[in-house]
Amino acid sequence: MFRIKFLLPLVLIVSALTWWLMPHYSDEDKAYYIATFCTLTHDGRDNSPQAMQQIVEGGNSDYALQKIHFKSRLADHVHTVWQELSPQQQQQTRQDALACRQMLSAILLPGESVQ
C-alpha cells in the first residue's frame, strides 16, 4: 500500500515534467519552417537547418522589438521528415515548391490545407 501511495505521485510528477519540457510548436511556426525549407529546396540551395537559421534570423531588423528566434529542433524535425520521403517525392519537392509544402504539411500539419 505504501508503495502505491509513493509510486503513483512520482509517476504523475515525472509525466507532467516530461510533457512540460517537451517542445510545443504552434501550427504557425511549423508552417513558417515548412515554407522556408521548401523555398530553399526549390531554389536548389542548401536546405540544411543552418541555412534555415540564416533565413529566419537574417529577417530580423536591428530595430525590431520582437525578434524571431530560430528553433533548431523544429528545423531539424522538418529536415528529418523530408529525408524520410522517397527519392521520387524528394525530387518532386525540388521541382515544385507547392508540392513540397503540401507533402510536408500533410505530415506535420494534418488536417490543414495548403494553397
The label of the residue with cell 529546396 reads: 41
Pick from 90, 110, 86: nearest CA to 100: 90
Kindly state whether residue 13 falls inside one of the protein's structural domains: no
Kindly state whether residue 36 falls inside one of the protein's structural domains: yes
Given the C-alpha cell 517525392, which residue does it identify?
A: 89
Asked if residue 18 is part of any domain, the answer here is: no
Does some domain include residue 49? Answer: yes
pTM reported for the whole predicted model = 0.75
Residue bearing cell 509544402:
101
Q: How far is CA 44 from CA 38, 59, 97, in A?
A: 10, 20, 11
Note whether residue 17 is domain-resident: no
**Predicted confidence (pLDDT) at residue 111 exceeds the cutoff of 90:** no
pLDDT digits (tens, 9 = 90+) for 54-72: 888 888 888 878 888 899 9
Are the C-beta atoms of residues 90 and 40 closer than 8 Å to each other?
no
Which cell numbers hold the place of 88? 521520387
Q: Specify if 14 maps to a domain.
A: no
pLDDT score, position 84: 93
Q: What does the pLDDT average to over 6-31?
A: 82
Cα–Cα distance, 14 to 107 (Å, whole number): 29
| Average pLDDT of the segment spanning 12-27 | 81
Rg, C-alpha atoms of the chain: 19
Number of domains in the chain: 1
Residue 96 lies in a domain: yes
Is residue 7 one of the residues assigned to a domain?
no
Using an 8 Å Cβ cutoff, are 57 and 70 in contact? yes
Per-residue pLDDT, averaged over 38-66, amounts to 85
Query: Mean pLDDT over residues 88-115, rounded?
Result: 85
User: What is the domain extent for residue 95?
Assistant: 26-59+67-108
